[in-house]
Structure 1
C-alpha cells in the first residue's frame, strides 16, 4: 500500500522566529512585526472589541454578550480578586487583575485556533510584560501603604530572628520576593505554553510521518491523529488554568505586600 506525499519535519525555529517580517527599516526597526507579533495585535483587537461590544450599551438586566462579559468579570472579581484581597482591596486592584487574566487567556487562545496554531505566550516577551505589570503593582501596593523603604524592610526582614541569621535570611528573602516572583511568573506561563505547543507539533508530525513515510503504519496515524485532537481539547482547560494561576499569584503577591508587616 503506497501513498503519494512527502513528510515535512517540524521547524520550531521558523515558528517562533519567522524569517518573514514587516515594517523592517522603519524607525530603526523599532516596530518590526513577525507572525507572532501580528497574532498578539490581532488577539488584542479581538479582546478589546469583545468588551467594547459587550459594554457599548449596558443594561441594568444584562442579556446576550453583556451577560457573558459580566459573568467573566464576576468570576475574576469574586473568585480571584476578592477571594484573596477581600472586597475593598479586591475592587481596588480588580482592573489590573482582570487585565492580566483576560490578556493571558486571549493570548493563549490562538494555540487551538486553526490557521494560528500557536500561543504568543510561548515566546517570552508578553509573559515578561505581564509579570512586570504584576511586579510594579505589588510594589506600588506595599509602598503606598507603608512607604517604599519601610515596605522593603518589612518584606525582607523577618521579626524575631536572631541577628546573626539575618545575614543569611535577608538576601534569600530579597531574591525570593523581588527577583524570583516576576521570573517564575514569566517562566511558568511561557514554559507551559511552549511545552503544550511542542507536544501538539510532535503528535501531528507523528501522524504525518506514519501516514506518508511508513505506509504500513497508517492505522497508527489514525491513533496519533485522535490523540492530537484529544490533547487539543485538553489545551482548552490549560488555557484557562494558566490565566487563572497567573492572576491568582499576582493577587497573592499584592496581598503579601499589603500585609508585609505581618511577614
Structure 2
C-alpha cells in the first residue's frame, strides 16, 4: 500500500506547461513551425488538386472538389447569400482548411500538438483577418454611420430601449464576436488535448509504476483511444464552425436588415 501511495505521489499530471514546448532554435518554437508547415501543406494540396483536372475526377480530385463544395455552397452561399458570396469563397475555404490542418496536427504521431491550442494563433486569425474583413465590407456597403446603425440598432427596437440596446449591441458586434470566435476553437483544442495527455500519461505511468494497479492501465489507454476518435470529430467540427461563423458575420455585415 505504501508503494502505491509513493508511486501516485510521483505522478506529475499534465498541465498548461505542456503547451509551451522549449524553443527549437532561437525563439522559434514547435507551434510556430507547425503553423508555417500548415500553410505549405495547404498550398501544396490546392495546387496539386487544381492541376490536370478531369471531367471524371479521381479520388484525390474528388476529395478536393468535395472540400471546395462544402466551403462554397455549404458555408459561403448559405451564410452570405447567393448575391454576395462569390468574392468570399477563397477566404472561407482558407479559414476552414487552415484551422482544420492545425487542429489535426494534434493527432499526428510525433507531432501531436494542435496549434490552435495556443490562444494567440486563433486570436490572430480572428482579429487580423476575419474581423477587419467583415467590418470593412459592412462600412463599404452601408457607409460609416449607416453601418454603425445597422449593427447596433435592430429593426423595430422601441426608442426607449435604445440607450440600453446600443451599447450592448456595439459591445457584442465589435468586441465580443471576434474574441468568442477565437476562444471557441482554442478552448476545444486545449481541453481535448489536455484530456488525451491525462489518460495517455496516466496509462503509461500505471503500466510502468502502478504495481497491482497495472490492471487499470488498459482502461486508461482505452479511454485515450476513444477520446482520440472524439477529438478528431471535434477538430473537424471546430474548423467548420469557425468558417461558418466567419461567413455568418460577413453575411450580417452585408445584409440590408438583420
TM-score, normalisation: structure 2? 0.89
The 2-side partners of 1:68 and 1:19 are apart by 37
User: What residue number does 1:57 align with?
Assistant: 52
Partner of 1:44: 39
Q: CA RMSD in A?
A: 2.1
The answer to whether the Cα contact below 8 Å between 2:80 and 2:252 also exists between their aligned partners in 1 is no
1:226 and 2:229 matched: no
Tell me, yes or no, if the aligned pair for 2:102 and 2:114 is still in contact at 8 Å: yes
Higher mean C-alpha displacement, 83-92 vs 36-45 = 83-92
1:8/1:208 contact within 8 Å kept: no
Structure 1 residue corresponding to 2:117, chosen from 110, 114, 122: 122
Q: Which of 136, 141, 151 pairs up with 1:140?
A: 136
State the partner residue of 1:18.
21
Q: How far apart, in 2, do the equivalents of 1:154 and 1:50 lie?
A: 39
Decide whether the 8 Å contact of 2:100 with 2:236 is kept in 1. Answer: yes
State the Cα distance separating 1:169 from its structure 2 match. Answer: 1.1
Mapped partners of 1:51, 1:252: distance in 2: 24
Q: Contact (CA 8 Å) 2:122, 2:182: kept in 1 or not?
A: yes
- Secondary structure, in 3 states, of the residue corresponding to 1:87? coil
Identify the range of structure 1 (172-181 vs 13-22) with the bigger mean alpha-carbon deviation: 13-22
State the 1:251 CA deviation: 1.4
Alignment-derived partner of residue 106 in structure 2: 111
Partner Cα distance (2:11, 2:71) in 1: 42
Aligned-pair CA distance for 1:14: 4.5
Q: How many residues align?
A: 251
